[in-house]
Structure 1
Amino acid sequence: MEVEMLPKIHVFCWRVGHNILSTYANISSIWQNFKKDCPKCGAKKETFIHALKDCPMARTILILGGFNNRLLGRRGRRKSGLGKGKNLYHDFKIHNLVNNSMLTITLAYKKWEKPSYGYAKIKFDASVSYGKVGFGVIVKESDGFMLGGSGGFKDKIITIECAELVAFEESLKVASAINILKSMFESDCASLVNRVDNRGKDITILGSQINEAYKNLDKFVLANVV
C-alpha cells in the first residue's frame, strides 16, 4: 500500500537522494566566489549533513520538533556502521586506481545525426562562467544544410539548467523566425530534457518557466525535445 505524501516532500526527498539541496557548498560549486560558510552558525562549509543535523540551529529545531536528541545523540553503532561504509568506499576507489576498474566505462561517440525527412534539427547549448551566460543555437535541415543560428551572452548568475533554458527559449525564437513547422530540438543537458518531458509534474520555479516556454511549441505542426 502506498503512503500518501505531499508533493513538496516528494521533491525534498528527490533532492536529498541526488544531493542537490541548495546548501552553500553546492551553490559555491556553481557560482564563482560564493562562500561555503554556514549562514546560521558560521561553520567552514555548509554541507548536506551539516544543514540537516550538525548545525546547532538545525539540532535545536529537530529537538523542538520531537526528536528529543534521540537520533542526534546516539553515535555508537551508527557511527561504527558509517565508518565501515566509508572505509569500504575508499578501498573500492583505491582498487579501481591500482587494478582494472570493476565498473567499466563505456565510451560513447557522439556525432550529428540527420533528423527524419522534412524535419529540421535545432541544436542549442549554453555555458556558465564568471557570472556570465553564453548560449548558442544552430539549425540544420535533414540533409545537413544550415538554415540559421543565433547566440549571445547575458550577465546573470544562474545554474547550468537555467542557462540551458535560456538557450532553449532562444532556439524557439529562431525556429519561429525562419518559419520551421516540423522541428527536433536537441540538447546535451539530460536534466533539462527530463524536466521538459515531466513538465506537468515539476512544481519548481524552473518547472514553471519550462511550462511557459513549452507553450511556444504550439506554433509548430510537429515538435519534440531530445
Structure 2
Amino acid sequence: MGYGPHRYFWKALWKLDTLPKIRVFTWRVGHEILPTNSKIATIRQGFDKGCQRCGAESETVLHVLKDCPTSRVVLSIGGWSKSFISKSYDHCIDWLEDLMRVLDKRAMVDLMTTLWNCWNSRNNYIFRGKKEEAQLIWERARNLNKEFRICNMLEEPLLSYIIAEKKWKKPPKDFIKINFDAAVGENRIGYGTIIRDEEGFVLGGGGGFKELRVSVEEAECMAFKESINVACRLQLKEHVLFETDHVGLVNRINNLDKDVTLIGARIKECKAAFNFFKSA
C-alpha cells in the first residue's frame, strides 16, 4: 500500500478528520471495490452493467460518483467548479488524488461525505425505488459534516493554547464517577455523559443534540442535568462523584448560596436530585 503509484493518496486518506465509515468508503472507492453494476457484471454472467438511473452504458465507480447527472448536480450545488467535475479520468482514484493536491483537509472531507451520500442515494434508488432530489442529498452531507465538527470541535480557536494531557482518575472505593461535557455550535449544542465504576468499567452513558442558541455555561448545565437523569434511569444509587472540566460551572456550584441567576436556579434543581444517591 505504501509503495504504489498512489501512495500519497493512501497516506492522506487516514488523516481525514471524518467518520470512520467515510474513511472506509474512501478506501473502497480508491480500490474500486464498490458493488457497482459494472463490477458485478465481471463476476455474474449476463448481468446488466448499465446505470439504472441515467441509462449510461457502464456504471463504474467513477460514473456513480462523478459522471452520473444526479451526482453532477449534487456536486454543483455544493459549489464544486466545473473543472473539477468535467475533466476525464480512467479511474476514480486518479480524480480524487488530483483533488487532494488542491484541496485542504476540510474541503476533502466535505467532498468525500458528499460522495458517500451520493452512493447511498444511488442504493436507495436501486434497492428501494426511492428517487431523491439533488438538493436533499447535498443538505444531508452538509448536516453530517456540521454535526461531526460540533462533536469533535474541529474549528481551531482564535488563540492557540497548549493542550495538557488529561487522564481519567479512579474515584474512591465504592464510588462511581460521572463525567459530563457539552459543545456549543452556532445554533446547536451537543452534550454527553459517561458513568464508570472505581475500576473504570463503563456502567452507562448518554448524549444528544438540541437546536438551541445558548451560552457554554447553560450547555454545561444541561449536560449536568442529563448526567443525573442517566444515573437515575440506571438506578445507580451509590456514592457518586460528578466531574466536568468547565471551571465556570464548578465555581457556580461551589458558590451556589450567592447565585441568584437563572443558571444558578437550574443548578439548584440539579443538586436537589442528589437525594437519589447515597452521597454526591
Taking structure 1 as the reference length, what is the TM-score of the superposition?
A: 0.50
Distance in 2, matches of 1:154 and 1:109, equals 29
Does residue 275 of structure 2 align to residue 218 of structure 1? yes
Does 1:185 pair with 2:242?
yes
Task: Name whichever structure is richer in strand by fraction.
Answer: 1
- Aligned pairs (5 A) from 1:162-177: 162-177=218-233
Distance of aligned partners of 1:173 and 1:201 in 2 relative to their CA distance in 1, 3 Å threshold:
same
The C-alpha deviation readout for 1:112-146, integer Å capped at 9, x for no partner, is 10001111110100011120010001001000100
The structure 1 segments of at least 4 consecutive aligned residues displaced by more than 3 Å after TM superposition are 105-108
Which 5+ residue runs of structure 2 have no aligned equivalent? 1-160
Aligned: 1:155 with 2:211: yes
2:258 corresponds to: 201
- The residue aligned with 1:127 is 183
Residue 212 of structure 1 and its aligned partner are, at CA, apart by 1.3
Question: In 2 relative to 1, CA 107–152 (structure 1 residues): closer, same or farther, beyond 3 Å?
Answer: closer
1:114 aligned counterpart, secondary structure: coil
The count of corresponding residues between Structure 1 and Structure 2 is 119
Name the SS for the 1:136 alignment partner. strand
Runs of 5+ consecutive residues of structure 1 not aligned to the other structure: 1-104
The one-letter code sitting in structure 1 at the alignment partner of 2:256 is R
What is the correspondence of 1:42-121 to structure 2 with a 5 Å cutoff?
108-121=164-177
Q: Give 1:100's aligned residue.
A: none
Between the aligned partners of 2:192 and 2:227, the Cα distance in structure 1 is 8
The code of the aligned residue for 1:200 comes to D
Q: Flag the 1:107–1:149 CA change in 2: closer, same or farther, 3 A.
A: closer
**Cα separation, partners in 2 of 1:177 and 1:206, compared to 1, 3 Å:** same
1:205 CA drift (Å): 1.4
Q: Deviations over 1:88-117 (max 9, x none)?
A: xxxxxxxxxxxxxxxxx9974320100011
- The one-letter amino acid paired with 1:162 is E
In the TM superposition, what whole-angstrom CA distance separates every residue of 1:175-207 from its partner, at most 9, and x where no partner exists?
Answer: 111222211110010110111111111011111
Structure 1 distance, partners of 2:173, 2:249, is 26
For residue 222 of structure 1, give the secondary structure of its aligned residue in structure 2: coil
RMSD: 1.6
Matched residue, 2:60? none
The structure with the largest alpha-carbon Rg is 2
For 2:246, give the aligned amino acid: C
1:200 partner SS: helix
